[in-house]
Structure 1
């Protein structure tokens, strides 16, 4: 068990370093985008459409790649697959670390779009599968919550760093941090224990196929996930299919609100990099405290299904307050609701993981991440035109936060679906996890 704890601690540190670097750029990228596309303006439809288009292309690529990444990690190990996205993520940050002029910004957009089609969400997906490999079902929701709390902590630290760094330094530190996270992972993170023997076996099998006949390498492609495999996974259980529906609508709500919020706040209250960072720090602190302290207690007391519903309800309320903000202090007050809203996703991932066997955790988490990626394709098609329209002078009626209100409605649909979720009873917990030898 000491080795297990060490493995999880190294996983947490890897996720923290990687997310810290990624989150640093969020408050700064809006200003960089506006400066490159519409210099000197606080409203810019072109910037909104560009961000939405980029998001849609990334989501489309992730829809295909996430089930593949999850499936390959079941065969070749989590650490092997983590190396790919963590390496590729360095390059877009390095471009803006060098320069943020218009030409370099567009180079960054192209490079980030192509790379994020492979990397977006993959680190979190593989980290969840790593936890599911090594943690008993009875403790899984708590560990998922802790992992999510680590991400929130990285969110706070990243945004706090941005608050005190220049824009150029933000991207330089972010690029360096991503390199450090990759080196740390390769040096210290042990392979997932339940997958290590499979990695060796599959490597031997692959070598054998290559030696015998090149034609037999076609058998390797049979392991790649297809649409039929995804549909089969969704039919595994009613609870898993419900989790997939909730994942879709909650991601539509989250991504839709996030893609609109920064441009909305800039247009309405003239927020800049520092104020964006302050707002995100409040969100992050609330989420960190909630997931590291309150969630393990509440999950044991009320159950993860009820906690999922509570989190989705407060997520809807959070977006509703953003949409009707009447003063610059209201977004800061609304951010405090993250204390409860943050419960939803760890509970959902834990519920889904318990419906799938121990040898398909990567496939299951990849399937849910792929569904979330599909939601990211849908979001720009709906929210980018809405945001641009209602922030412009040609809006049909005065409601600048209308797109965020639509995101709140999507969160309400997810909440309604979550009420019907029924989880397995404690007696149904798989005992094999408790017998895994370190």
Structure 2
């Protein structure tokens, strides 16, 4: 694989960063209730508000970060989310009193607008810069596998470490990730062919600002306008369809993450140990899917076929969860969901092949913004639905109906994905027959 040393350093950076973030997740609920009050509903409201604000903020910031990375380099912009992710962890590493928790909560809410999607968005753009189109689906799958491996390791570490040490370890690892990236990761020079000039880059722009410092006026000029984002999303039928698929996939993924544990607790009275087992099975399967299946099946079947397989597997997975008749069924469904994790890397790979090198950042940023919007919208749809069918006022008795609806979101994405036909950028030419322009 091209530039394998750079990719290795990127993977190490992403692993350390996600490990630092995910190792604290199992303890957040307990820390919140201990610091604020022992009321589950209030703790859940705080978590819900944080996700909503962070998701809506990401819708605006992800295209901006992606655009700036196209101009100033991936490494310079990757420094921002990596640095921001350190701050909330340091707060709770110092103390976990009520005052410190509220400071953590505010900082976490606002930094998540940049950190939640920024690291993965910029990492995908970096991969697209360094990997040829034929190997890109494998590289994107490996990145997803690294994140899944970080999740598994973070979950295991959270079970072994005492709560008093978890945030200290997370803060140290987060600092190491940022320092490691600044020392070892190298920005690569993109040699742009005339046929690969960007859709959105003006033909009159001739200066190379890749190594210039970011100025306030420069940043303002580079803010992508809504019409530019819309133009990118409408640049081809493939990009438009992939954007809709990304929305429904993000809608379903957020529904699974937010409500599956509550459903299993209400349906089978699962406790912490059962939840941990389900999560470990799920993310071990994700690691296998992204690090083994994607590199093997990607070149053979193509990313559009893998996308269809992943989305249909998501539908079947939620169908089994919704009709689970025994406590062993969720465990079997978790293993079956190994194919579900083929979808996200496939969507990102499809998008990356439809734009030029100077547009990888904004394309991945727009895609991440769509996923963030879906994450913000998902609880508004599935939370009332789930509450209704667990109440006595349910129109009919089907406690797994909300999980089935999550599966239907996957199914809609699957139907749309069957219409996607990937055509390389060079074979389809410029948008609307526009002539190529030199940067």
TM-score by length of 1: 0.87
Task: Indicate the residue corresponding to 1:253 in structure 2.
Answer: 252
Find the counterpart in structure 1 of residue 307 from structure 2. 308
Per mean C-alpha deviation after superposition, the further-off stretch among 11-20 and 297-306 is: 297-306
Aligned pairs for 1:91-110 (under 5 A) are 91-110=87-106
Do the aligned partners of residues 111 and 274 (structure 1) sit closer, same or farther apart at CA in structure 2, a change above 3 Å counting?
Answer: farther
| In 2: Cα distance, 1:51 partner to 1:429 partner | 45
Shift of 1:170: 2.5
8 Å contact from structure 1 (residues 93, 175) kept in 2: yes
Cα deviation, residue 337, structure 1: 2.1
Q: How many residues align?
A: 416
* Matches for 1:196-345 after TM superposition, within 5 Å: 201-202=208-209, 218=217, 221-345=220-344
* Matched residue SS, 1:343: helix
Please tell me whether the aligned partners of residues 152 and 280 of structure 2 are also in contact (alpha carbons under 8 angstroms): yes
- Deviation digits for residues 350-402 of structure 1, max 9, x if unmatched? 11111001111001101101111111221122223334444456655554443
Correspondence for 1:164: 160
- Residue 15 of structure 1 is matched in structure 2 by 14
1:423-438 → structure 2 map (5 Å cutoff): 423-424=422-423, 428=427
Distance 2:398 2:95 in 1: 37
CA distance in 2, matches of 1:54, 1:11: 28
Contact 2:71–2:210, Cα closer than 8 Å, also in 1: no
Once residues 281 and 420 of structure 2 are traced to their aligned partners in structure 1, the CA distance between those partners, rounded to angstroms, is 31
CA distance in 2, matches of 1:401, 1:24: 30
What is the TM-score when the length of structure 2 is the normalising length?
0.86
- Separation in 2 of the partners of 1:87 and 1:219? 22
Q: Report the Cα offset of residue 230 of structure 1.
A: 0.8
Tell me how far apart the structure 2 counterparts of residues 234 and 82 of structure 1 sit (CA, whole Å).
Answer: 24
Structure 1 residues 205 and 83 mapped into 2: Cα distance closer, same or farther (>3 Å)? closer
8 Å contact kept, 1:56–1:379: no
In 2, the alpha carbon distance for the partners of 1:28 and 1:272 equals: 14
Whole-Å separation in 1 of the counterparts to 2:23 and 2:108: 15
Structure 1 unmatched ranges of 5 or more: 211-216, 431-438
Q: Distance in 2 between matches of 1:29 and 1:178?
A: 17
Native 8 Å contact 1:70 1:126 kept in 2? yes
**CA pair 96-165 structure 1, distance change in 2 beyond 3 A:** same
Q: Cα deviations across residues 117-145 of structure 1 (Å, max 9, x unaligned)?
A: 12221100000000001111111111111
Structure 1 CA distance for aligned equivalents of residues 78 and 212 of structure 2: 22
Task: Evaluate the alpha carbon distance shift between residue 416 and residue 30 of structure 1 in structure 2; reply closer, same or farther with a 3 A threshold.
Answer: farther
CA change 1:9–1:54 in 2 (3 A) is same
Please name the residue that 1:375 is paired with: 374
- By how many angstroms is 1:93 displaced? 2.0
Q: Quickly say closer, same or farther: Cα 1:203–1:125, change in 2 above 3 A.
A: closer
2-structure distance, mates of 1:323, 1:162: 29
Deviation at 1:108, TM superposition (A): 2.6
Q: Is residue 117–residue 368 contact of structure 2 (8 Å, CA) maintained in 1?
A: yes
- 1:152 is matched with 148
Give the match for residue 69 of structure 1: 65
Q: CA deviation at 1:22?
A: 1.5
